[in-house]
A and B are shown apart, each in its own frame.
Chain A
Amino acid sequence: MNFKIMEKLMVKIKKAYTLDYTAETTTGVDYYDRYLPVAQKMINSFELTKSKD
């Protein structure tokens, strides 16, 4: 299968955060573009809260 991937990388206080959006591009439908607005909404909603670690 073929994939298109977007990763957002961030470092904060010795922790690395990666948000990874992957979509397959094999089946003739561009699922990457189709669901990119969903992924963007997820990325935009991502928040750091108080950690127990």
Chain B
Amino acid sequence: MIMTILSITSAPIGLAQPTEFLTYKNSRHGVSIQYPSDWTFAKKNPVDRNIIATFRLPFEDNPKLFHADFRIVVEDSKKTNLAGLVMTRFAILSNIICLNFKPLESKPSNLTGFYPAHQLIFSASYYNITI
């Protein structure tokens, strides 16, 4: 896996914002994203190889816990349409990953400005982030 930190850009966008963002690029999977320079970064997950990058704001006194976490997951998909992927994801979230799964929002969206996507927002009292 080839990963490069390409650049630093200024992004003063509010009180909770860092002043700088870095760019993560993964040429194997063909993705890039900007992330806050004061968040931790890990390019591998020891449990789930489909998680190609994790960006995290950890607790100050316990790096194993986090206040906020952002992950990129890329997997080969037999699903050729978004609707099938969303249905499968709902089933996994509600039956396997989460305790007290409570969907809050489910709606069409987009990524990279124009690719059709789907947005889910939900709450849970436990969330297995390795699945």
Contact = CB atoms under 8 A, between A and B. Distances in A.
B123 A2 contact: yes
A25 B123 CA distance: 9
B14 interface: yes
Contacts, number: 180
Contacts of B29: 51, 53
Task: Name the prevailing secondary structure of the B interface residues.
Answer: strand
A10 B124 contact: no
Given A23-B68, A43-B111, A52-B27, A6 B126 contact: no
Interface of A: 1-12, 14-25, 27, 29, 31-32, 34-35, 37-39, 41-43, 45-53
Closest 10 CB pairs of A and B: A51-B30, A16-B77, A45-B34, A18-B73, A10-B117, A35-B68, A31-B67, A23-B68, A22-B69, A20-B71
